[in-house]
Structure 1
Amino acid sequence: MKKNIIKLIPIALVVIALVCGCTTVSKNDQRYAASTLAQPGLPPLSAITGTGTLMPPANPDNFTFVVFGDSQPNFTVVSQIFNQVKSVLKPTPDFALSLGDIVKGEPQVPFDSEPIEKTLKNYLSHAKEAGVPIFNAPGNHELDDVVNTDPWTEMPSQKMQTLYEKVVGPTYGSFDFGNSHFIVLNTEDVPPKGMKGPTPPMEFSYIGPKQLAELQADLDANRDKTHIFVAMHYPIHPLYPKRDSLYGESRQALIELFAKYSNISYVLASHEHYFYNPFDETNVSTVPVYRAGGPTRYLISGGAGAPFWDPSQIWAFHHYLVFEVSGEIV
C-alpha cells in the first residue's frame, strides 16, 4: 500500500496527493457530458464553459481528480496548476473540482456587469489550458454584489448569479463518476428579501431551502455509491470560525444532514487561503486517507493563487490536491 505523500514542485507549488493502493489504468481519451440524473435531487452539473465534458473512467473503481480553490486572478500560479494537470501528473486526472473565487470580483456601485464578465471570461480562457473538465463551486467573488459602498454589505445578488450562469455555467448540481457521486453546492444562494447578514467581520453566506431540499433528495438517492464528495466555497469547519464559516442556519443544516449518511467521504471547501485540516490542525504534510464507512473528512484548500492573509502561518502555501480513488479507499 502506498503512503500519503507530499511532493515539492518547482515554482513553489506544493501538491498534496492522496494515494493509497492505487492502480494505474488506461484512460479513454474522449470526454463525455455528465450523465443526466434520473433520480430526484440536485440538477445535473456540467463543467464550466470551454473546459470540455467527461467520459467514464476505464475502470470505475480507479480514477484520479484534482482539487484547488481561491485562485482569484493570480494566473501565474493557477496557470502552472493547469499545466501540471495537463502535462505533468501521471496518470492524467480525469477532471478537476474548483472550490470557488476563480476571480476577484469587485462589486460595482451602481451595478456594472462589464468588468466582472470580462474577468470571468479571462479565467475561462486560462482554464482551457488544464485539458480536463473543471467543475466550480462559486464563491463570494463570483456571486456577491454590494447594497451600498460599505464592503460589509456584500450579498449574493440575482444579477450576479444570472451573469455567472450566462458566462460560466450552473451555480450548483451533481454528477456521477465511476463508483462515486460528486456534489457541488452554492453557498451564495440569493437570500430572501429583508434577510439580514451577520455581524462583521463574519461575511454573509447562505444555502436556501430549495437547494437544501434538493441536496437531501440527492444524498438519499445515492446511498449506494461507494463515495460521495462534496465541494463548496464557504467551509463548515474553518480556521477562523468567527469570520470565515458558512453562516448560521445554513451551516447547522449541513452538519445535521451530512451526519445521516455514512458514504460522504470528503467535504471540500476553500474561502480561507490556506491548506487546513480542522481535525489535524498542525499537519500540513499529509492528508487523511478515507476508507469506506469511515468518518467524513473535512479539508480546506484555498491555495491556488489568492494572496495569503498571513504568510507566516504554517497553512499558507500554494498547493492543489490530487485524489486517487481505488475501490473503497481514497
Structure 2
Amino acid sequence: MYRHFLLTSVTVGVIFSLAPQSLVAQQQASGTVFVDANSNGKFDDGEETKAGVFVSNGRELVATDEEGKYQIAVGDDTIVFVVKPTGYRVPTDQDHISRFYYIHKPNGSPKDLKFPGVEPTGPLPQTINFPLHKQDEPTAFDVLFFGDPQPRNQQEIDYIAHDVVEPLIGFDAAFGVTLGDILFNDLNLFDSFNRTIGKIGIPWYNVIGNHDINFATDKDELSDETYERVYGPAYYSFNYGGVHFVVVDDVHWMTDGKRKFYRSGLSDAQLDFIENDLKTVPQDQLVVAMMHIPLVKSTPWLEPKRDRLFRILETRDHCISLSGHTHHHEHVMIGEESGWKKPQPHHHIINVTVCGSWWSGRPDENDIPHTMCADGTPNGYTVMHFDGDKYELEYRAARRLPDYQVRVMADEEYAADREVPGSFFANVFNAMPEAKVEWKLQTGEQWLPMTKTVEADPLFLKRHEEEKAIKAKTGSVPWRELPKPMPSPHLWTAKVPTNLKAGTYAIEVRCTNPNGQVLTGERIFRVK
C-alpha cells in the first residue's frame, strides 16, 4: 500500500474558502509531528513532539506549535505532507521510497483512467500524524541524481539494473532523486522499477516527468493521479544537512480540443507553495530546485509562470537547479537573455540520463545498448557533493570507472611526412561554461589551449552513420536507432603537430572548470 497515514482522534472543523466562481467546502486537517521512538508508526504516549516543523497542503505551510501540533485547510483532493527537517528522516517503504504524506481523496481518482489512481480514502481522519526519526546529517554529504531512466518494458528495467544499479548497491549517499521520466508511458511498471532502484539501499525521492502521467485524461490536475498513488505529491520540499531541496512539477498536460499534449508549465498553487516554502528557509542555506523540463526550455505562452518562478528564486543568495528531459548533459548559466534579472547568473544543470538515448544503439557483450546521448555523453548519472552552501557535480558514466570524464578522439595513425596537421577532439562530459581545456603530448611538456567547437561529437556521428549504412543495405537495424546527432555543448578541438617523428604518443587533456574541478582524459596514437 503506497499511501502512508496515521490516525488518532481529534476534532475536525469545517470552513469555507472562496474559489473562482464557486464556494468550495474545506475542512481542517489536524495532527502532530512526533519522534517515533519505537518505530511503530504511531504517536504513543510519552513520545517527543517536534515544534517548528512545517506541514503543507500544497499551497500553504504551517509550523507546528510548541506541542508539535498543526492545523491546515484541505479540500476534496489534497495531499498533506511534512517538510522533513534537518537531523531527522521520514519513514521509507521496503523499496526505500520516502513516505512523508497523507492523500485525502474521499471519492478517489476517476475510474476512467488508463492506469489506476488513488482508491477512495473516505472521510478525513480525525488526526494525521507525521512520524520522524532522528539521524545524524553532516553538512558534507552526497546525493545521487538520475535523469530519465525511462524504461518502456521489463527488459529495459533489467538494463537499468545491470547498467547502473548493480554498481551502486551500498553506495554511500544521503539519498537519491529521479529527475522525471521514471518510466516510458507504461505506468504498470512502477512497482518493478521501484524494486530495482530500491536495491541501491538509500532513501529515494522522485520528480514527475511527461512520461509518468495518465494520458487518458485531458486535465492537468488529473494527469498525475497514478503518480500520486505511487509516490505522493508531485511537488514538495525537504531538508538535509542544512540544504533545502524543492521538487518542482513543471509538466503541464492539456488539450486543444483535437489532441492531448504536454508543455512546460507551473500551476499557481505550486508557485504559491514554492514562494511560501522559501520564506521559511534561512538566507544562508543553499536551495536546490529539482524538476524534469529544463528552465531554459520554457514554452513561450507559459513564460509568465516561469518568470514568476525566476522572481521567487532570485530572492535566494544561494540557489541552483537540476532537470532532465533533453537526454544530454549540460551546465547552463541562466542570465538576462533568458529573463533572469539577478546580476549573478543562475546555475542550471541538465542532468545526463540513465537511459541515454532511450536505450538505443548497438548492444554490447552484455546485450545492453550503448545508448550514447546525442551530444556524445555516455549514459549514466551524477553525484552531487554538498558542503554547506558549496556544491560540486560529479558525472559518472554507466559501468565505467569514476575517472572516465573526457573522451579524447584522434586517429589511430598519422603519417610522419604529412603536410596538413590532423585534428583531434575532446568531449569533456561535465565541462561548465568558461571551462579551460588544454592538452599536451608528453609529461613535462607545456599545456596548450584547445578550441571550443560547436558540432556533433565525432564518435556519436560515426555510430549514427554506421546505422544509416546498415539500414540502407538491409532496410532496418536490429536494435533501436540512435537519434540524430546534436551539437555538443562541451566539445573542444586541437591539431596534431606535423613535425612528430615515427613512434607512439599519448595525448593528455586537462579541463579546469570555473569552480576548480579538474577533469582529465588520454588517448594513444601512432605516427608512421
TM-score (norm 2): 0.43
Could you tell me whether the CA contact under 8 Å between 1:61 and 1:326 is conserved in 2? yes
Q: Select the structure that is richer in helix.
A: 1
State the AA in 1 paired with 2:195. Answer: S
1:130 aligns with 2:193: no
Q: Aligned to 1:68, which of 146, 171, 177? A: 146
Question: Letter of the aligned partner of 1:162 in structure 2?
Answer: E
Q: By how many angstroms is 1:226 displaced? A: 2.0
Residue 210 (structure 1) shift: 0.5
Task: Say whether 1:44 aligns with 2:82.
Answer: yes
Structure with greater strand percent: 2
Q: How does 1:1-330 map to 2 (within 5 A)?
A: 37=54, 41=61, 43-44=81-82, 50-53=95-98, 58-73=136-151, 74-79=156-161, 80-87=163-170, 89=171, 92-105=172-185, 116=187, 118-145=188-215, 157-188=220-251, 203-238=262-297, 247-264=302-319, 266-279=320-333, 295-307=345-357, 313-330=374-391
Amino acid at match of 1:299: I
Give the deviation of 1:312 after TM superposition: 7.1
Partner in structure 2 of residue 27 of structure 1: none
State the alpha-carbon separation in 1 of the partners of residues 379 and 252 from structure 2: 28
- What is the alpha-carbon distance in structure 2 between the residues aligned to residue 246 and residue 127 of structure 1? 37
Rounded Cα–Cα distance in structure 2 between residues aligned with 1:172 and 1:312: 28
The count of aligned residue pairs is 256
Which moved further from structure 2: 45-54 or 294-303?
Answer: 45-54
The 2-side partners of 1:156 and 1:270 are apart by 24
Q: Aligned in 2, Cα 1:179/1:302: closer, same or farther, shift over 3 Å?
A: same
* Contact 1:139–1:233 (CA under 8 A) maintained in structure 2: yes
Q: In structure 2, do the counterparts of structure 1 residues 250 and 142 end up closer, same or farther at CA, with 3 Å as the change threshold?
A: same
Aligned to 2:77: none
> CA offset at residue 136 of structure 1?
0.7
CA distance in 2, matches of 1:322, 1:58: 20
Deviation at 1:314, TM superposition (A): 2.9
Deviation per residue, 1:32-61 (Å, 9 max, x gap):
x9x952585494367886324596663531
RMSD of aligned Cα (Å): 3.7
Letter of the aligned partner of 1:275 in structure 2? H
- The aligned residue for residue 7 of structure 1 is none
Amino acid at match of 1:37: F
Paired-residue identity, %:
20
| Alignment CA distance shift 1:302-1:144 (3 Å) | farther
CA–CA distance in structure 2, aligned partners of residues 294 and 94 of structure 1: 29
Tell me the amino acid that sits aligned with residue 86 of structure 1: I
Contact 2:149 2:353 survives alignment (8 Å): yes
1:81/1:57 CA distance change after superposition, 3 Å: farther
Alignment partners' CA distance in 1, 2:150 and 2:165:
14
Is the CA contact (8 Å cut-off) linking 1:64 and 1:93 kept in structure 2? yes
CA shift at 1:70, angstroms? 0.5
Letter of the 1:69 partner, please give it: G
Q: Which runs of 5+ in 2 are unaligned?
A: 1-38, 42-49, 62-79, 84-89, 99-131, 335-342, 361-370, 392-528
**Amino acid of the structure 1 residue aligned with 2:96:** T
Higher relative contact order (CA 8 A, sep 6+): 1
Deviations 1:186-222 (A, max 9, x none): 113566xxx759x99x951321101101100111111
Quick check: 1:275–1:315 contact (8 Å CA) kept in 2? no
The answer to whether the 8 A contact 1:98-1:136 is kept is: yes
What is the letter of the counterpart of residue 44 of structure 1?
V
Q: Which structure: larger Rg?
A: 2
Structure 1 unaligned segments of length 5 or more: list them: 1-30, 106-114, 148-154, 281-292
Instruction: Report the equivalent of 2:338.
Output: none
Q: CA deviation at 1:145?
A: 1.4
Contact 2:250 2:293 (8 Å CA) reproduced: yes
SS in 1 for 2:245: strand
